[in-house]
Amino acid sequence: MSETRAEANAPGDEERVSPAAEPEAVETVEAAVRRQLGKALGGKRGVIEAAIPTLTFTLAWLITEELKLSLYISGAVVVALLIVRVLQRSTVQFVLNSAFGIAIAAVFVAKSGNAADIALPGLIINAAYAVVMFISIITRWPVMGFLVGTMAEDPLSWRKDPGIVKLCTKLTWLLMAPNLVRLAVQVPLYAAIKMGLLSQEWVVAQLGLKYAMGWPLQIASFAAMGWVLARGRTPVSSPAA
């Protein structure tokens, strides 16, 4: 019996067993933010599902100039995407987001009769995001800090650590950058079409520019954030002083 216990407690056995028994590595701010960003994006599929119904609505409107028909066509696309998601028992969040976006865009187009207004909700959203993030930065409550807060027992504990606040401020600047670039490029084009300086055919270019500056810019932003996150290992909860 004693020999059996000795064998079980042999140094070699402890080395083989201990890694499985060790607790997981301490969570870092960088790892938490990477995980939360992945959830928020929904991956490539989430981005595609958000884009297809809006693209369908815009093309249908440009071809038919019939608002109801365009809504029916894009609505059918949304329903098809929803059915696929339900059958796969996966989240319908990103499909519903696109449906909400179409509804808002349809209101603007219906009121003005100008297809260029399909881009107006996106411009407003980009401007709103930029304003909110800028205010969060100058008040030292960076938006990215709240992502960190979701990983802690006290959702506002990150505010007590200057290092975490500084990191989240950098990340918020990088998160805001695509919004500013889109506004700088797309607002002049929207204004030119709206004022008649450019023809309605430019709406197709406007739509293409919208998507060209959507996912690619976001990828660039996240890549930059990933570089910042890969360099540091900031603990989620700083030890008490």
**8 Å CB contact between 59 and 39:** no
Dihedral of CA atoms 123, 124, 125, 126 in degrees, nearest 10, equals: 50
Domain coordinates of the chain in residue numbers? 26-231
pLDDT at 169 over 90: yes
User: Which of residues 202 and 165 earns the better pLDDT score?
Assistant: 165
pLDDT digits (tens, 9 = 90+) for 176-204: 999 999 999 989 988 888 887 887 667 76
**Average pLDDT rounded to a whole number, residues 154-183:** 88
pLDDT averaged over every residue in the chain: 75
Q: How confident is the model at residue 8 (pLDDT cuts 50, 70, 90)?
A: very low
pLDDT at 230 over 80: no
* 55/203 Cα distance (integer angstroms): 12
And the tokens for 136? 């969060």
**8 Å CB contact between 172 and 144:** yes
pLDDT digits (tens, 9 = 90+) for 92-116: 777 787 777 777 777 776 666 666 6
What count of Cα atoms within 13 Å lies in the side-chain half-sphere of residue 128? 6
Query: In sequence order, what are the beta bridge partners of 150?
Result: none
pLDDT digits (tens, 9 = 90+) for 115-148: 667 778 889 989 999 999 999 999 999 998 887 7
Q: What's the pLDDT score for residue 201?
A: 67
> SS3 for 8?
helix
Place of tokens 């409550």: 141
**8 Å CB contact between 210 and 160:** no
* 121/104 Cα distance (integer angstroms): 7
Q: Is the pTM of this model over 0.85?
A: no
**8 Å CB contact between 179 and 129:** yes
**8 Å CB contact between 105 and 121:** yes
pLDDT at 7 over 60: no
